[in-house]
Amino acid sequence: MLDPFSGHARHITVLCREALEFLSVRPEGRYVDCTTGGGGHSEAIAERLTTGRLLALDRDPSAVALASERLARFGEKVWVRQAAFKGLAAAVEEFGGKVDGILADIGLSQMQLDDSARGFSFAAEGSLDMRMDPAQELTAAEVVNRTDERELARVIYEYAEERRSRRIANAIVRNRPFHTAKQLAGVIERAVPGSRTHHHRLHPATLTFQALRIFVNDELGQLESLLEQAPDVTRPGARIVVIAFHSGEDRVVKNVFRRWHTEGTCRTLTKHVVWPSEEETAANPRARSARLRCAERI
């Protein structure tokens, strides 16, 4: 389905029913969607509010522009602002103080992936950029063209559990400089031939691209910061719902929830992760790796 505002394929919101159930939205409550993206979850939350309000955040200014248009019909009930997770507490303060629930659906949106100029997808001729916030200095091109081989191998292994990280890092160093995402994807494909069959549907560059994106955007540091601030910006009874897309992110969430339990800050409401239903993954294969956890502020 095309987005009426951007003309690009619209991001299909994942685990929407489950996220709304766990958030347990009250019509008069105040909520934060930390990753408004295409505005899908935000719209579903806003539709349940009467006197309540929603703060919709994203670090990507194009997502903020898109969500602002989609959510404009809610008027003052919904505020859309640009902020990264690290700016959560400041944004909530400006919104009027503690809230009744937080949602974070982390990772990339379909719009970001499809915009070839941003270099998130190896299929496109886009520049090797990968910044979610274009005001940030560090780009993926900087990382692949300047990082030493050992460190590159570490990044590729640590952020994506790519077992062939050393071979890939060596090929990168031998073939740089890189200017486009496609050029990098081609070198990786030649460095680790035959891996398509090994990893089934995955292109051989998939894990390397994931690792670079996570590193460039400091995604795990951002997530830790979000979870660090969450108890301080929520009222007792508030729900904190996180949707992760790979095991590295989910591990961070699981460990912080465990710590909250020990400290007595929050209790975990999801004993195990919640996966999308078969119907959802059949309709939207991208939802396959999504997993949700929820904690409740005590």
Ligand X SMILES: C[S@@+](CC[C@H](N)C(=O)[O-])C[C@H]1O[C@@H](n2cnc3c(N)ncnc32)[C@H](O)[C@@H]1O
Cis preceding linkage at 4, omega within 30: no
Q: Which of residues 213-242 bind ligand X (CB under 6 A)?
A: 222
47 vs 24: CA distance, rounded Å: 13
Rank residues 191 and 227 by Cβ distance to ligand X and give the closer one.
227
Q: Which residue has the tokens 């949700």?
A: 292
Cβ atoms within 10 Å of 6's Cβ, excluding its own: 18
28 vs 34: CA distance, rounded Å: 19
Residue 40 binds ligand X (CB under 6 A): yes
Residue 162 binds ligand X (CB under 6 A): no
Stretch that binds ligand X, among 52-60, 116-124, 198-206, 271-279 (CB under 6 A): 52-60
CA–CA distance from 95 to each of 54, 98, 137, 264 (Å)? 9, 9, 28, 27
Give the DSSP letter of residue 130. Answer: -
Contact by Cβ (8 Å): 108, 214 = no
Give the DSSP letter of residue 247. Answer: H
Q: Which of residues 131-150 bind ligand X (CB under 6 A)?
A: 132
Residue 155 binds ligand X (CB under 6 A): no
Residue 106 binds ligand X (CB under 6 A): yes
Q: Which of residues 254-293 bind ligand X (CB under 6 A)?
A: none
Residue 121 binds ligand X (CB under 6 A): no
Residue 35 binds ligand X (CB under 6 A): yes
Contact by Cβ (8 Å): 56, 78 = yes
26 vs 29: CA distance, rounded Å: 5
Residue 58 binds ligand X (CB under 6 A): yes
Beta strands 99-105 and 266-268 are unpaired
Residue 246 binds ligand X (CB under 6 A): no
The SS3 call for residue 33 is: strand
Pick from 18, 60, 100, 162: which binds ligand X (CB under 6 A)?
A: 60
Rank residues 118 and 164 by Cβ distance to ligand X and give the closer one.
118
What's phi and psi for 292, nearest 5 deg? -115, 140
CB of 231 to ligand X, least distance (A): 18
Residue 38 binds ligand X (CB under 6 A): yes
Residue 52 binds ligand X (CB under 6 A): no
The SS3 call for residue 185 is: helix
CB of 114 to ligand X, least distance (A): 12
Stretch that binds ligand X, among 56-64, 145-153, 165-173, 187-195 (CB under 6 A): 56-64
184 vs 208: CA distance, rounded Å: 10
Stretch that binds ligand X, among 54-62, 91-99, 154-162, 179-187 (CB under 6 A): 54-62
CA–CA distance from 195 to each of 40, 152, 162 (Å)? 35, 20, 11
CB of 69 to ligand X, least distance (A): 13
Instruction: Give the 3-state secondary structure percentages of the chain, helix then strand then coil, rounded to 5.
Output: 50, 15, 35
User: What does the per-residue mask of binding to ligand X show for 64-103, with x meaning CB under 6 A?
Assistant: --------------------xx------------------
Pick from 52, 95, 109, 164: which binds ligand X (CB under 6 A)?
A: 109
Point out which residues bind ligand X (CB under 6 A): 11, 13, 34-35, 37-41, 57-60, 63, 84-85, 105-107, 109, 132, 222
